[in-house]
Amino acid sequence: MALTAMDNQYGYVAVFAIVGIAFIIITLIAAWVLRPHHPSRAKNTPYECGIIPKGDAWGQFNIRFYIIALLFVLFDVEAAYLYPWAVRVKQLGAFALVEMLVFLAILAFGLGYAWRKGGLKWE
């Protein structure tokens, strides 16, 4: 059975995958073997901006922090979509303009909803 050009291409992919996985495994094993491991009470304490920690490290946070973070990610993704669209707006035509206006309307609706529900208040 003769190898075709397609089989040869898959062979390259397989070799790169095997070499990549082997490199990752060898690197992790070498790091585990070579690292110094001398824990002490001082090394195991959490460190935060030079302030001596008080209490347990597992504290609960208000859900508003997560909502603000999700809104930031949402509008960051919006900016990632708007920039390439704005660069090519003349070549895209009217359909792309309407499509982007629908996208912005959905985002504005979401922002208005979060604003109305008090999700943007930082208290």
**Reported pTM:** 0.46
Best CA proximity match to 52, nearest among 40, 42, 62? 42
Residues 40-53 pLDDT 10s: 877 777 666 767 66
**Range ranked top by mean pLDDT from 19-33, 54-68, 70-84:** 19-33
Confirm if 79 and 108 have CB atoms less than 8 A apart.
no
Q: Average pLDDT, stretch 108-120? A: 83
Task: Name which residue leads in pLDDT, 111 or 34.
Answer: 34
The tokens for 55 are 């209490």
Q: Average pLDDT, stretch 12-22? A: 94
Mean pLDDT of the chain: 82
